[in-house]
Amino acid sequence: MKRRTIATRTIVPSREVQRGIIGGLMLLGGWEAATRLLELPTYVLPPVSGIVQAIVERRAALAAAAGYTGGEALAGYLIGCTIGIGVAVLLALFPWPRRGFVSVATAINSVPVVGYAPLLLLWFGTGIESKIAAVAFAVSFVVFISTLAGLDRVDRRAVDLMRSFGAGKLAILWRLRLPTALPLIAAGMRVSTVRSIIIAIVVEMLGAYGGLGWVIYQAVMQIDFVQVWAAIFVASAISLVFFNLIGLAEWKLVFWR
């Protein structure tokens, strides 16, 4: 009887998810109604039904472009997270160059990645390498700052207590500082998901052989604004899925929050 009850249990979305779905449907419904009632031209704002129709009609091309962009964003995201966490951990173990390094990193990242995009295209070419490098560059700084802030949150009394029991730097890092920093590390990684998709698309628009950014650029050149919005909708869907997957992993791993 107990097994049957568990098997037939219905999974109900949380109230936040329900509100998000209702809000999204209301937004799309208002969008559709406004374009129909005001008779807006498609180059100003196409109706949602037209965008969905374009997605369905060109689903093969959009799916291939989405896979191209998603692969670039995922590869750059993983590299950027690895670099950001690794550098932050090194500075936590060896803090003497920290102030100078953080100042230089902040100065470099004060310039939008778009400003460095021509250099990345020159150095790595118009293939996927330049997009991966751009995404890794953007993600690494966000994850680096969040990891460094998390490692600094540790209670000094807990550190002194572990030292009194003979724990070294690595033991304190592994058993105390990293678990304490994990919530902020996960938050930085979650925020970086959307940024990775945006950076990949922007750099694709400047030079690429495929991807959603390339589709948007070609559609603008052909004055096909419905196709532009179709690519934007697909990019938004990828970002939403990516964001929620990392959020789910955060919920599973940082279970004590």
pLDDT in tens, 12-36: 566 766 777 887 788 888 888 888 8
pLDDT in tens, 98-134: 888 888 888 888 888 888 888 888 899 888 999 999 9
More confident position, 82 or 16: 82
CA nearest to 197, candidates 103, 71, 108: 71
pLDDT at 67 over 90: yes
Distance CA 70, CA 67 (A): 5
pLDDT at 63 over 70: yes
Superfamily of domain 48-253: MetI-like (1.10.3720.10)
Query: Can you give the pTM of this predicted structure?
Result: 0.85
pLDDT at 213 over 90: yes
Distance CA 248, CA 63 (A): 24
| pLDDT on residue 99 | 86
pLDDT band at 5 (very low <50, low <70, confident <90, very high): very low
In angstroms, what CA-CA distances link 222 with 58, 137, 174, 212? 16, 32, 55, 15
pLDDT at 39 over 90: no
Q: Where are the domains of the chain?
A: 48-253
pLDDT at 4 over 70: no
pLDDT in tens, 217-251: 999 998 889 999 999 999 999 999 999 899 888 88
| pLDDT on residue 131 | 93
Mean pLDDT, the chain, rounded, equals: 86
| pLDDT on residue 18 | 74
Average pLDDT over residues 142-149: 92
pLDDT in tens, 163-183: 777 777 788 878 888 888 899
Q: What percent of the chain stands above pLDDT 90?
A: 42
| pLDDT on residue 13 | 60
CA nearest to 45, candidates 63, 56, 30, 55: 30
Structure-block tokens of residue 164: 């009194």
| pLDDT on residue 36 | 85
Average pLDDT over residues 35-40: 84
More confident position, 140 or 8: 140
Q: What percent of the chain stands above pLDDT 70?
A: 93
Distance CA 201, CA 211 (A): 7
